[in-house]
Structure 1
Amino acid sequence: MKILPIAACALACVAALPARADEELQKKLANPVADMISVPIQLTSTLKTGPQERPQHVVNFQPVYPVRISENWRLINRVIVPVVSSPALTPTQDRVNGLGDITYEGFFSPVKPAGGAIWGVGPMLQMRTATDERLGSGKWAAGPSALVLAQPGKWSVGALVTQLWSFAGDESRAKVNQMQIQPIVSYRLSPVHTVGYLGTITANWEESRSSQRWTVPVGMTYSTLVKPAKGAPINFVVGAGYNVVRPDNAGTWFVRAQATFIFDK
C-alpha cells in the first residue's frame, strides 16, 4: 500500500522538472551575462519623433555569444546591429532607411560570482557604419560598460550602465559623450511568463541645457517563453512606454516587440 504514495511523489517530482528548467531559462534571459547563446530580434517604434512628429522604427539584431576564457572567467560578446527607418526633418525631405551604427559590447564576468551578486565589466565600441548621416552619429566611439544584477526569489533587479566618448570620425558632426542606464527589473509570474520594466535612461553630456540632456522613459513588458517540439526555445516580448523626460523633437510613446531565439552551447 505504501507504493502508491511513493509513486505519486515520484510523478510529481518528474512533472516539476520542466517547470524548474523553464524558470532557470527565464532567469538567464533576464541576465545579460548569462552563459547562453541567444539571438534577440527587437522592433521598437517611437511615435512623434522629430520636428514633423512622425514615427521612427528601429530593428535591432543582437546576437550574444559567451566564451569561457579561463576556469574562473567568461567573456560575454554582444553585437547590436540596428536597421533604422528615420522620419523626415523637414516637409521637403523623405524618410530614410538603412543601417545604423553597429555596437559591440564585451563583458568579463566571473563563472561563480561571490555573494550571489552577478556582475560584469568590459569595453564598448560604437562603429561608424550608418549608411546615411541621419541614421548615425558619424563618429567612432568607445568606453566602458558595467553590469550588476541580483535574482532573489522570482525577481531580477539590477542595472547595465555604459559610457561612450567619440575618438574619430566626421569633424563636422557633434562629439559623442553619452551615458546610458538600462534598469533591469522583472518578476516571473510563472515558469513561462514574466513582467518587467522597459526603457533606457540616456544622458547627452555634450548638451549644456539640462532640459535637453536627459531622456527618461517609463514602460512595461510582458514576455512568454515558448518551447516548440522541434527547434530552439523562443522568448516573445511585447511592451510599451512613454518618455516622461525628453529633449525637443524626441519621441513620446514607444512600443516594442521582440523574439529571442535560444541555442544550446
Structure 2
Amino acid sequence: MGPAFLLPTGSEDELTADKWGVGPTGVVLRQQGPWTYGGLFNHLVDFAGDDDRSDISTTFLQPFMSYTTPNAVSYTLNSESSIDWENHDSSVPINAIISKVLPIGGHPFSFGGGLRYWVKSADNGPEGLGLRFQVVALFPK
C-alpha cells in the first residue's frame, strides 16, 4: 500500500488533464507453484490545477492471473479497468497475453503479445477486438 500521484505533465492540451491528484494504491499478489494471481488498484482525486478542466475521481482495477511454464513462457489473463466517478463512465478491457523471457546481451527481457477485447468502453474510447504487444526489461536480484 502506498501513494499514487497524478502530475500535469502533458505537452499538449489533448494529452493532459492539467490537474494534480493523489490517492491510495495497492497490490495483493500470491504465487503458488507456477501460478501468480492477484490484483492492483488505485484511486486518484484531483486537488489542484486548471479550474476549467473536469474534476478527477478515478479508480483503476487490475485483477490478474498467470501461469508460467518451466521454460519461462507465461499465459496471462487480466483486465485494466478504469472507473470515472465524475463523468459516470468506465472502461473494461480483457487481455489474454502470451510472453516469453529471453536474454539479449546477457540481460533478460520479456516479449509478449496477445488479444484485447473491450467489454465496455468510454463514449470516445476504443471498441471491439485489438492486439497488444509488449517488451519489458527485467531486473532480477
What's the TM-score, normalizing by structure 2? Answer: 0.91
In 1, Cα distance between equivalents of 2:131 and 2:42: 23
Deviation at 1:264, TM superposition (A): 5.4
2:32 corresponding residue in structure 1: 152
Aligned counterpart in structure 1 of residue 82 of structure 2, from 192, 202, 225: 202
- Once the two structures are TM-superposed, the CA of residue 171 in structure 1 deviates from its matched residue by 0.5
Map 1:137-176 onto structure 2 (within 5 A).
137-176=17-56
Q: What secondary structure, in the 3-state scheme, does the structure 1 residue paired with 2:32 have?
A: coil
Map 1:130-141 to 2 at 5 A.
130-141=10-21
Instruction: Indicate yes or no: 2:92 matched with 1:216.
Output: yes
Percent identical pairs in the alignment equals 30
Which residue of structure 2 aligns with residue 80 of structure 1? none
Match of 1:256 in 2: 132
What's 2:71 paired with? 191
In terms of Rg, which structure is larger?
1
Q: Give the Cα separation in 2 of the matches to 1:242 and 1:264.
A: 32
Q: Is the 8 A contact 1:127 1:139 kept in 2?
A: yes
Matched, 1:236 2:111: yes
Alpha-carbon separation, structure 2, partners of 1:257 and 1:136: 24
Rounded to whole Å, the distance in 1 between the matches of 2:87 and 2:67 is: 36
Higher strand content, 1 or 2 = 2
For residues 102-149 of structure 1, the C-alpha deviation after alignment (integer angstroms, 9 at most, x for no partner) is: xxxxxxxxxxxxxxxxxxx10011110001111121111110001101
- Which one has a larger percent helix, Structure 1 or Structure 2? 1
User: How big is the shift at 1:262?
Assistant: 2.1
Distance of aligned partners of 1:254 and 1:168 in 2 relative to their CA distance in 1, 3 Å threshold? farther
Higher RCO, 1 or 2 (CA under 8 Å, sep at least 6)? 1
Q: Which whole-Å CA distance do the structure 2 matches of 1:181 and 1:167 have between them?
A: 22
Partner of 1:182: 62
Gaps of 5+ in 2: none
Q: Deviations over 1:166-221 (max 9, x none)?
A: 0111100001100000112111133310110143011100024xxxx221111200
Aligned to 1:246: 121
Aligned in 2, Cα 1:194/1:264: closer, same or farther, shift over 3 Å? closer
| Ranges in structure 1 where 5+ consecutive residues have no aligned partner | 1-120
Q: Is 1:199–1:241's contact at 8 Å kept on the other side of the alignment?
A: no
Structure 1 vs Structure 2 CA RMSD: 1.5
For the 8 Å contact 1:216–1:243, the answer to whether it is kept is yes
Q: How many residues get paired?
A: 140
**Residue type of the alignment partner of 1:247:** A
Alignment of 1:1-265 (within 5 A): 121-208=1-88, 213-228=89-104, 230-252=105-127, 253-263=129-139
TM-score (norm 1): 0.50
